[in-house]
Amino acid sequence: MTKAIVLLSGGLDSTTCLYWAKNQGHECYALSFDYGQKHRSELNQAKIIAKAAAVKEHKIMQLSMDLIGGSSLTDDTLIVPNAGEQMGVPNTYVPARNTIFLSIALGWAEVLNCHNIIIGVSAVDYSGYPDCRPEFITAFQNLANLATKAGIEGNQFYIHAPLAKLTKQQTIQMGLSFGVDYSQTISCYRANTHGEACGTCDSCNLRKQGFKAQNIADPTRYISNN
Amino acid sequence: MTKAIVLLSGGLDSTTCLYWAKNQGHECYALSFDYGQKHRSELNQAKIIAKAAAVKEHKIMQLSMDLIGGSSLTDDTLIVPNAGEQMGVPNTYVPARNTIFLSIALGWAEVLNCHNIIIGVSAVDYSGYPDCRPEFITAFQNLANLATKAGIEGNQFYIHAPLAKLTKQQTIQMGLSFGVDYSQTISCYRANTHGEACGTCDSCNLRKQGFKAQNIADPTRYISNN
């Protein structure tokens, strides 16, 4: 049985990836980050999901990215916009976030003698973040194999992005085929401490559209006044 | 005046880089990591050095890499070897450390609108760490420009490794020409809480040889019983 580390935020995409990895036959290790995100209640969901999926280990790393700021997800002086409110890359972009998360996953992978890292990025229904594109994933995999003792010894690392070319609807289809319970997941950038979603941010909007396109009931728990 | 982030451990190499960056005319930001290293007294020296060099800002990020372990620098179950005791890459190698440190520097750089990151790696007098080689630096720079909003908008990041091809002696020569006070620096993997060096680990050994080759007094404060 090969090992895999899955970056698990507690959202729809990363949860689908976790079940994809299980379905591939991997022994799964989940990695989450308490990185100063305003919507850190997602970590409660990540714990529930990791337990339900019976991962081998779930690690939550502390990382004070709020000390750096520069994103409305981590910086109190910036406001999370509604879907479509900002042109181009919205201010929910967290500078270098996926690079940082993958780097730490790489370190853990090398210690575990694990050579598969799975990340739930997609370049179809997404917010235009540069570190969600396939060329980023390819460049990171290239780096990983130059950066590590295992890599230069020929024990290659593979960065898997199984959702890379999927729409949100297709991601949901895939997850349902693996038995994902999407009521456990939270994708909202403004999630409250009860794990309820705003329904209006970009992430909520993409998720909503996915369930709508699939023509199934949206199991998301929304904040009641929305 | 262009900005630069310098990765500053408090050691000989990173301190030389800081002064190199100043000499290049950069406005310098120093970034250190409290990453679970046993020799964390190096951070006291980093603070002294950053202040002496009058950096614009010195940030110390918390990062619990000891939760991952796998290196004698962060893992209580592994012992830091003496110089030459281990063949190949010694167990002082910290999996993916430079990738992680550069990634976090990249995040801060993007927020600061800074496009220069400086790291004190060398592939001459070093311990064989894969993430100290020029091909790693090149791959990281390539990644940085794909991973970020600034990068894809054409505002390139540059990863500078000014010591890449220098021996320890040449590094010391360069630092002295910029007025570095090496008595402020500590390179030891076993540094005690007073910032004193063991004199026998690989890092101490490389440093000792550098001062010897340069034929100047070694200003390192060694633990008295060595």
Nearest to B130 among A67, A68, A152 (CB): A152
Is B225 part of any domain? no
Percent of chain B with pLDDT over 90: 94
Could you tell me if residue A100 is inside a domain?
Answer: yes
| pLDDT classification of B124: cutoffs 50, 70, 90 | confident
Whole-prediction pTM: 0.97
Please check the confidence at residue B27 and state whether its pLDDT lies above 70: yes
Distances (CA, A) of A159 to A145, B6, B106: 11, 29, 20
For chain B, say whether A78 makes contact (Cβ under 8 Å): no
pLDDT of B226 strictly over 60:
no
| Residue B101 domain-assigned (yes or no) | yes
Q: Exposed e or buried b for every residue in A175-212, given b needs 16+ CB within 10 A?
A: beeeebebebbbbbbbbeeebbbbbbbbbbbbbbbbbe
Q: How many residues would you count in chain A?
A: 226
Return the pLDDT at B20.
Answer: 98
**Which helix (H) or strand (E) element contains residue A116?**
strand A116-118
Residue B194: inside a domain: yes
pLDDT value at B212 more than 90:
yes
Structural domain for A153, as ranges? 3-214
Three-point CA angle B51, B170, B58, nearest 5°: 20
Handedness of CA A107, A108, A109, A110 (dihedral sign): positive
Residue B35: is its pLDDT beyond 60? yes
The label of the residue with tokens 């714990």 reads A47
3-state secondary structure B71-103: CCCCCCCCCCCECCCCCCCCCCCCCCHHHHHHH
Residue A126 lies in a domain: yes
Distance CA B50, CA B41 (A): 15
At residue B189, the pLDDT reads 96
Number of compact structural domains in chain A: 1
Distance, CA of B102 to CA of B199 (rounded, Å): 29
- ipTM associated with this complex: 0.96
B11 within domain boundaries: yes
Helices B168-177 and B202-214, interaxial angle, to 10°? 60
In this prediction, residue A226 has a pLDDT band, given cuts at 50, 70 and 90, of very low
| b (16+ CB within 10 A) / e for B77-97 | eeebbbbeebeeebbbbbbbb
Tens of pLDDT along A69-114? Answer: 999 999 999 999 999 998 889 999 999 999 999 999 999 999 999 9
Report the CATH number that the domain containing residue B145 is assigned in CATH: 3.40.50.620
Could you tell me if residue B226 is inside a domain?
A: no
- pLDDT band at A4, cuts 50/70/90? very high
CB B143 within 8 A of CB B156: no
Mean pLDDT of B12-17: 98
pLDDT at site A225: 62
Closest residue in chain A to residue B69, using alpha carbons only: A111
Phi, psi angles (nearest 5°) of residue B125: -90, 85
Angle at A179 between CA A174 and CA A184, to 5 degrees: 100
Instruction: Give the amino acid at A127.
Output: S
Is residue B7 less than 8 Å (CB to CB) from chain A? no
On chain B, the residues whose CB falls within 8 A of the CB of A95 are 106-108, 110-111, 148-149
Condensed to tens digits (0 to 9), the pLDDT of residues A132-178 reads: 999 999 999 999 999 999 999 999 999 999 999 999 999 999 999 99
Taking the C-alpha atoms of B148, B153, A39 and A138 in order, what is their torsion angle to the nearest 10 degrees?
A: -40
pLDDT score of B168 more than 50: yes
Q: How confident is the model at residue A126 (pLDDT cuts 50, 70, 90)?
A: confident
Angle of helix A134-147 relative to helix B134-147, nearest 10 degrees, comes to: 160
DSSP, collapsed to helix, strand or coil, labels residue A118 as strand
Residues from chain B contacting residue A104 (CB–CB below 8 Å)? 68, 96, 100
- pLDDT value at residue B9: 98
Mutate to test the interface with A, among B29, B67, B68, B115 (most CBs of A within 10 A): B68
* Residue A97 and residue B110 in contact, taking contact as beta carbons nearer than 8 Å: no
Q: Is the CB of A47 inside 8 Å of chain B's CB atoms?
A: no
Note whether residue B175 is domain-resident: yes
- Looking at residue B225, its pLDDT comes to 61
| pLDDT at A132 (0 to 100) | 96
What residues in B contact A142, CB-CB < 8 Å? 139, 142-143
Could you give the CA distance from residue A178 to residue A165 in angstroms, rounded to a whole number? Answer: 18
- Minimal C-alpha gap between B150 and chain A (Å): 9
- Whether B146 has its CB under 8 Å from any CB of chain A: the answer is yes
pLDDT in tens, A36-57: 999 999 999 999 999 999 999 9
